[in-house]
Structure 1
Amino acid sequence: MADDGMTPRSGPTGFGNILRGMLLLGRGRVAGLAYFGNTRDAVLTALAPRIALWLVGGLLTMLHAPDATSVTRWLFSLCMILLPAVLTHALAQRWQRGGLWYRYIAAAWWTDWLSPFVMLAVALLIALGSPALLETFYGGLIINGVGFAYSLWMTWFIARIGLGLGGGRAMLLLGAVLLSLAVMAEITALLPPHYVPWHDFMALPGATSTAKH
């Protein structure tokens, strides 16, 4: 059989195959899923850079502002990484898709890195088409909105193909993840030091310049 360029020749190992899988899935190509392993090692490999970034970012934040809010923000960001994994694993087990979960979460974690690049591409398009818009609240709203929408679509798409779900169940999984994160954010805001994650999320580029006018 001729190689169609979509299937790994020697199994889903190595960063080259991971990158190919990311780019294929990022464009809605189901074939990209085959580039990710369905093993614990594949999951740990996908998790490692996220934890490394979390550690470095948290340490830098606390060096800059060593207070309770910084610690809470640091722990909340860790929960944002791990809570969806725990929840989707539970749902996969309930729906008898546990055997597919390793590949699913590995693909989900790797493709999550695509969202910032999508936002960068949108920012570049705005800069080329309307540079002034880039400095406004609405420019930031467009950039963050597109990035968030793309992330939601990727979560739904990878759940559907990675766990072999129908569109409805994939949407249910997406809703469960969003709800769990929203509940966690509300609890964080209610308890001392009353850190409000939504403030960070809504800290859009251009908001400061808009406030000055």
Structure 2
Amino acid sequence: MSDRGASSGPNAAGFGGILKGMLLLGRGRAEGIAYFGGTRDSVLSALAPRLALWLVLGGLTIGYAPQAISGVKVLFALCLILLPAVVTQALAHHWKREALWLRYITATWWTDWVTLFVGLVVALLMALASPRLLQSAMGAAILNGVEFAYSLWLTWYVARIGLLLRRRQAVVLVLAILGSLGLLVLLTGLSSPGQRAWHEFLYPMLVQQGAGH
């Protein structure tokens, strides 16, 4: 990455630059990575919307049902947000890509929102083509499948561009994220039998992390 590209982060371009970077990466354009900063402040800015949503929905969850299981759901959602960052940082260290990780995770957290936009577009097209299909189980399966597949591709692509990985390394990173999230789901299920925190708390975050539902 050139020095010029590195300086074109969110601190220089503002939210308009971040949005442009999101749209570029979401369309498979590698130059989009240059619109994201590689500082701790950039990472915190990218994390802030997720934490704000987590705090609001966590408060509503506990307020609606002040029980121990509500606390499990809230903690599950927080782990869902942070676990991929922990996994990818460890892999970046292993592959000697630590210097690129801050920019990568910033881009990842911002571009995750593109998956929701894609889902909305697909839902709109389905509604225009066949409202019954959108309301059916098959329609839900199609919508979730498209979102999940796109999320996997976007996770792979941003990792490959942001950390300068080979294709196979990016695949390993995606599998590591999915494996860690699967383990989190398993542990949550064991700690609260009969409950499915991932269904009941925050579906958008699950889609963004490629966990599906």
TM-score class, shorter-chain normalisation, is 0.7 to 0.9
Deviations 1:30-85 (A, max 9, x none): 01000001111111110111111100111112222222222111111110110100
1:177 matches 2:171: no
Match of 2:196 in 1: 196
> Residue type of the partner of 1:165?
L
What's the counterpart of residue 97 of structure 1? 97
- Equivalent residues of 1:92, 1:101 under 8 A apart: yes
| Letter paired with 1:80 | L
Inter-partner Cα distance in structure 2 for 1:184 and 1:8:
37
SS in 2 for 1:165: coil
Alignment pair present for 1:118 and 2:114: no
Counterparts of residues 35-114 of structure 1 (less than 5 Å): 35-114=35-114
2:70 and 2:114 mapped to 1: Cα distance? Answer: 26
Q: Give 1:11's aligned amino acid.
A: S
Q: How many positions carry a matched residue from both structures?
A: 196
Structure-2 change in CA distance of 1:166 and 1:9 (3 Å): closer
**Structure-2 change in CA distance of 1:27 and 1:78 (3 Å):** same
In the alignment, what sits opposite 1:135? 135
The superposition leaves residues 92-147 of structure 1 with CA deviations (integer Å, 9 ceiling, x where unpaired) of 00100000000000000000011111111111111111111111111111111111
What TM-score comes out, normalization by structure 1 length?
0.87
The 3-state SS of whatever aligns with 1:113 is: helix
Once residues 28 and 149 of structure 1 are traced to their aligned partners in structure 2, the CA distance between those partners, rounded to angstroms, is: 14
Which aligned segments of 4 or more residues in structure 1 are displaced greater than 3 angstroms? 7-10, 192-195, 197-201
Which residue does the alignment assign to 1:11? Answer: 8
Of structures 1 and 2, the one scoring higher in RCO (CA 8 A, sep 6+) is: 2
CA distance in 1, matches of 2:6, 2:70: 46
Unaligned runs of 5+ in 1: 1-6, 204-213
Q: Which moved more, 1:187-196 or 1:98-107?
A: 187-196
The structure whose residues are more often helix, as a share, is 2
1:12-31 aligned at under 5 Å gives the runs 12=9, 13=11, 14-31=14-31
Q: CA deviation at 1:199?
A: 4.4
Q: Is the 8 A contact 1:69 1:193 kept in 2?
A: no
Report which of the two structures shows the higher radius of gyration computed on alpha carbons: 1
Give the unaligned 5+ runs of structure 2.
204-213
Q: Which moved more, 1:181-190 or 1:60-69?
A: 60-69
